Amino acid sequence: MTRLIVAAGGGGDAVAAAMLHAALYGDEDQAVILTYAWDRLLVDPLPGPRGADSFTGLKPLTQSVWSIPAEAQPIAPAGSTLPRLAAELPHTLALLDPHHGAEGITRQLEELVSHLAPASIDLLDVGGDILARGDEPTLKSPLADALTLAACCQANAPIRLLVAGPGLDGEISPDDLRPLLGTLVRTFTAKDVEAIGSILEWHPSEATAMLAATARGARGICEVRDAGLPVPLTDEGPTVHEVDLDDAVSRNKLARAIMTTAALDEAEAYSREICGFSEIDYERNKAAWLKAQPPVPLTPEDVLSQLHRFQADARTRGITHTTFRHITEALNLNGSQRDELRRLLIHSRPHQYDAPLWNISA
């Protein structure tokens, strides 16, 4: 029995898909997780998503869908978390490629459904920004989710939309999301996190890290991203809700606009028009800025001194937790130094490691 799970935004949604499969389907056969190769700039210095031509070692699943085995490699200078993720998960990762627009993703979905005859198809979004109208002032990354939503609603297959961790992506508040959520499907527990616990030790996803942390009992306010967004960690954090797919499309103006797009550039133009921006433009600008920044040496004494000041300031804002990605940026370190920073902090102050987050209030 095969389950197909579409990771709406890629990255951390693919990790959460593995946790969802363990929680809902247990020890059944492996899932196929269809996901973008669209990582943060600290992993992939190139803006936007990667296509099949950015990898070596991919294996064909259908005419337009490639699987990503552990031995696959991104072609430099591109980077990707997917090969390592494939090595650590029991599931098949398949590359969702948006370069042919929503029409191309729809084609990929229908080929997979025909090839796999899956027992179920879930479209999973962590945080809930897939339900955005497009004009929310806190919206940061609508394009990836809108593309998968547009494709899924056109695919000739029964697809269930699931939103996990309402509000945990910091893009739409839990209060705004609450009236839109349908049936409670699952409340993740610490046991459910076991399926991805070791992955969260290295994977940079912030939303899925908070999803796992709330499932383990973390509560408070977590500061995330380069902008330092405060995200509440509440009892709603570990929940998974079903949302009517047609209702989501009716609400998401960008998804409706891009249904017939045949190229990523075309979809991106609609994002600029409807939302006022494109997240790929943001990545382009940030990548250029990062390239111009001189490397800063990671000196333990200096880092711990800066951390002390950062934590003192954060506590005055009522912050209780943060992510290692945010600490890296807050201390003006390069994204490639995140793992080294994480090891230093856990070694020097293990009592503050509230896996996979950093506990400022400890």
Q: Give the tens place of pLDDT for each residue, 105-157.
A: 999 999 999 999 999 999 999 999 999 999 999 999 999 999 999 999 999 99
What is the predicted pLDDT for the residue at 295? 77
pLDDT of 80 strictly over 90: yes
**pLDDT band at residue 293 using 50, 70 and 90 as cut-offs:** confident
CB atoms within 10 A of CB 83: 19
Residue-wise pLDDT tens digits, 175-195:
999 999 999 999 999 999 999
Residue 61 identity: L
Residue-wise pLDDT tens digits, 204-263:
999 999 999 999 999 999 999 888 899 999 999 999 999 999 999 999 999 999 999 999
Alpha-carbon span 326 to 322, nearest angstrom: 7
Token reading at 218: 């973390």
What is the predicted pLDDT for the residue at 13? 97
Alpha-carbon span 196 to 211, nearest angstrom: 11
Taking residues 253-277, what's their average pLDDT? Answer: 98
Q: What mean pLDDT is reported for the chain? A: 95
pLDDT of 28 strictly over 80: no
**pLDDT band at residue 282 using 50, 70 and 90 as cut-offs:** very high
Q: Are 28 and 3 in contact (CB under 8 A)?
A: yes
What is the predicted pLDDT for the residue at 332? 87
Q: Are 327 and 356 in contact (CB under 8 A)?
A: no
Task: Give buried/exposed letters for 278-298 (b at 16+ CB in 10 A, else e).
Answer: bbbeebeeebeeeeeeeeeee
Residue-wise pLDDT tens digits, 51-78:
999 999 999 999 999 999 999 999 999 9
Residue-wise pLDDT tens digits, 322-348:
999 999 989 988 878 899 999 999 999
The percentage of the chain sitting over the pLDDT mark of 90, rounded to a whole number, equals 90
Token reading at 361: 């209030």
pTM assigned to the model: 0.96
What is the predicted pLDDT for the residue at 42? 83
Alpha-carbon span 245 to 230, nearest angstrom: 29
pLDDT of 29 strictly over 80: no
What is the predicted pLDDT for the residue at 268? 98
What is the predicted pLDDT for the residue at 215? 98
